[in-house]
């Protein structure tokens, strides 16, 4: 399903890439539920993603049996968007600015957070996001857990357009702002205890709550771009996935309110005041 967006954020930054663009202004956005770049975790080449202990309820892991090939539904011009060091830094910075703003209590209707870690980039989470987008099928995968992160969360979104020049970084920026903008659909009650099944609010809050979850310490994202001819137009599709080291659990707090950093074991970040320093030790929450 597509929902149209009329505006593009003023904070767009452009970067050079080899992706083909088009030019008649039609656009559609879909979302579903610096220094840090040098601190990436490394992908373990030994991980068996078909290991049944990684996923509960016999769910199939997104990485099970996967290679670096594109899926059979991908058009010939499909291309994985390069996540350069600059792009990683940008994604991390925007996430951490959003988290720090929330943690300091500067968002209307939300209390400050007592212990919200600074996110770092994780290469394995990025690789698993790549497995998702390289199917060219927009949607959440069933399981993307790792040995290090047993309860991985996920945000996804898609952008479709023709006749416009929209860089992948433009799209990432707008979608991240869209996710965070869901704070207008919720309040502190949803933060203190995430709604149980069947008690969800009428509008989406899952992307926002995933971004500001205090048990998330790492993120890894991927994007694919491809073209499909629909109704006589060459539509450019951009599917975007971010995986987080921990997922929201129903009935549990998204973050624990309190004075900013008052419970941080590692102290308060100078780069992102309100967040804990990098390396804050965090235990995963229970599953959904």
pLDDT per residue rounded down to tens, the chain (288 residues): 333 222 223 233 333 333 333 223 344 555 554 233 333 344 445 689 999 999 999 999 999 999 889 999 999 999 999 999 999 999 999 999 999 999 999 999 999 999 999 999 999 999 999 999 999 999 999 999 999 999 999 999 999 999 988 999 999 999 999 999 999 999 999 999 999 988 888 899 999 999 999 999 999 999 999 999 988 899 999 999 999 999 999 999 999 999 999 999 999 999 999 999 999 999 876 554
Q: Which CATH number characterizes residue 136's domain?
A: 3.40.33.10
Residue 214 CA to residue 36 CA, distance in Å, equals 18
For residue 243, which phi and psi values (nearest 5 degrees)?
Answer: -105, 140
Write the burial class of residue 126 (CB in 10 Å: 0-12 exposed, 13-18 middle, 19+ buried): buried
pTM (two decimals)? 0.85
- Dihedral over Cα of 150, 213, 98, 196: its sign: positive
First to last CA, the chain: 26
Q: Which domain holds residue 202?
A: 79-244
DSSP 8-state secondary structure symbol assigned to residue 119: P
Return the bridge partners of 268, or none.
276
Number of compact structural domains in the chain:
1
| Domain assignment of residue 199, yes or no | yes
Q: Is residue 109 part of a domain?
A: yes
């Amino acid at each position: 399903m597509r929902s149209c967006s009329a505006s593009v954020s003023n904070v767009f930054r452009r970067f050079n890439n080899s992706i083909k663009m088009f030019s008649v202004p039609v656009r559609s956005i879909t979302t579903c539920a610096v220094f840090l770049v040098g601190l990436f975790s490394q992908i373990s080449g030994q991980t068996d993603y078909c290991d049944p202990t990684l996923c509960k309820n016999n769910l199939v892991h997104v990485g099970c049996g996967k290679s670096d090939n594109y899926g059979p539904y991908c058009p010939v011009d499909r291309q994985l968007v390069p996540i350069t060091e600059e792009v990683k830094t940008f994604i991390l910075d925007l996430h951490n600015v959003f988290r720090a703003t929330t943690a300091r209590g500067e968002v209307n209707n939300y209390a400050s957070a007592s212990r919200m870690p600074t996110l770092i980039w994780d290469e394995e989470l990025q690789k698993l996001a790549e497995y998702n987008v390289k199917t060219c099928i927009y949607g959440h995968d069933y399981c993307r857990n790792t040995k290090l992160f047993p309860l991985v969360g996920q945000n996804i979104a898609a952008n479709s357009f023709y006749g416009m020049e929209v860089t992948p970084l433009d799209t990432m920026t707008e979608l991240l702002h869209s996710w965070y903008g869901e704070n207008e659909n919720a309040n502190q009650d949803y933060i203190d205890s995430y709604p149980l099944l069947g008690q969800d609010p009428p509008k989406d809050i899952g992307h926002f709550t995933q971004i500001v979850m205090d048990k998330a310490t790492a993120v890894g994202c991927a994007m694919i771009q491809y073209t499909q001819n629909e109704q006589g137009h060459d539509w450019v599709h951009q599917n975007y996935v971010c995986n987080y080291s921990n997922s929201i659990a129903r009935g549990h707090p998204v973050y624990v309110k309190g004075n900013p950093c008052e419970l941080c074991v590692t102290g308060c970040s100078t780069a992102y005041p309100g967040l804990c320093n990098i390396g804050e030790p965090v235990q995963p929450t229970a599953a959904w």
